[in-house]
Amino acid sequence: MRLALFISVLLAVARLAAAQQAATVHPTVSSVVDRMKSATWTERSKAFEDATELIRSGEENPQDADRLRLGVIQLLVTENNDQTPPASEREGEENGEYYASLVGFVASLGDERAIPSLLGAATTGGIAIRGVVQFGKKALDPTLEQVKSPDPKLASGAVFVIRELLKMGAASDPDSQLRIKNALRSALASPEFAVRLSAIAAVEYLDDREELVPMLKDIAEHDPVKLAGQKPDDGGDNGEFYPVRQDARRLLRKIANHEPPLIDKGVSH
């Protein structure tokens, strides 16, 4: 009788402990996810730190771990879109470190669902670009779609990704090459200076870059953007500095001399 009572008490205690643990874990995950949607970036930053700790702990059940991963991915979308001011500039170094950490963590997830959010951060540099490029051809469709964006930062970021996909040979099949070439034609004709400039850097890595020589020659002669205070390094344009023209001339010389594309270390732009 006493043994049965003792066992009953132990089972009751165990059930209570399990219930308390469940009550603790699930609200915590929900709270973190909700806080990552806060209107205040400092609160979002703290929630991000909590989310990364929970994910790295490996103690969450698969469903909650996935909720946290999706929450962090969505958080990067929020920060990419927050224009009050851009996340990388908001309130100095502390916020810049938070944004960089967020980009790096999302890139490290290896989650295909993060491709759009990483594309949105591609102009920040190599970590975001590598985060997209790691998915290879799977990243091509959303990247080509973003090249069409009216936002020059988003379009340029997508072109940077195209450049790296070409360098890696991740989109070397004829259909992908044709689609990329058409996207780069559009980028070379963009009214936005930054998009044209980034497109020239990507054209270098096309297998049949010779086909774009007529467009490059036109750009080398007529691109309208002139910057004061600098001079061309090739003596062109009567000593005035037209950066897109200069880059187009540089690439035309490479193509004419059959020089291979530059293969550098790491991702740069």
Amino acid occupying residue 213: V
Residue, of 141 and 95, whose pLDDT is higher? 141
Bridge partners, residue 227, by sequence? 241
pLDDT at 14 > cutoff 80: no
Q: What band does 21 get if pLDDT is binned at 50, 70 and 90?
A: very low
The whole-number pLDDT of residue 2 equals 54
Q: What is the pTM of this model?
A: 0.81
Question: Is residue 56 included in any domain, yes or no?
Answer: yes
Element (H, E) at 17: helix 2-35
Question: Is residue 229 included in any domain, yes or no?
Answer: no
Question: Is residue 247 included in any domain, yes or no?
Answer: no
Question: Is residue 152 included in any domain, yes or no?
Answer: yes
Question: Is residue 267 included in any domain, yes or no?
Answer: no
Mean local confidence (pLDDT), 236-254: 94
Least confident of 174-178, 233-237, 244-248, 265-269: 265-269
Least confident of 18-32, 38-52, 232-246: 18-32
Least confident of 14-18, 129-133, 167-171, 203-207: 14-18
The answer to whether 170 touches 137, Cβ cutoff 8 Å, is yes
CA distance 193 to 152: 8
CA distance 98 to 18: 35
Residue, of 19 and 208, whose pLDDT is higher? 208
CA distance 215 to 248: 9
Q: What is the distance between the terminal CA atoms of the chain, rounded to a whole angstrom?
A: 78
Question: Is residue 71 included in any domain, yes or no?
Answer: yes
Question: Is residue 259 included in any domain, yes or no?
Answer: no
Rounded to 10°, the helix 243-256/193-203 angle is 10
Mean local confidence (pLDDT), 132-149: 96
- List the CATH number of the domain containing 183: 1.25.10.10
The whole-number pLDDT of residue 131 equals 96
The answer to whether 196 touches 187, Cβ cutoff 8 Å, is yes
Domain that holds residue 79: 25-209
Least confident of 23-32, 64-73, 86-95, 199-208: 86-95
The answer to whether 121 touches 157, Cβ cutoff 8 Å, is yes
Q: How many domains does the chain have?
A: 1
Q: What is the pLDDT of residues 1-11, one digit of tens each?
A: 554 544 454 44
CA distance 108 to 70: 13
CA distance 210 to 206: 9
Q: What band does 160 get if pLDDT is binned at 50, 70 and 90?
A: very high
Q: Which residues of 123-147 are buried (b: 16+ CB within 10 A; e: fewer)?
A: bbbbbbbbbbbbbeeebbebbbebb
Question: Is residue 194 included in any domain, yes or no?
Answer: yes
pLDDT at 87 > cutoff 60: no
CA distance 168 to 132: 12
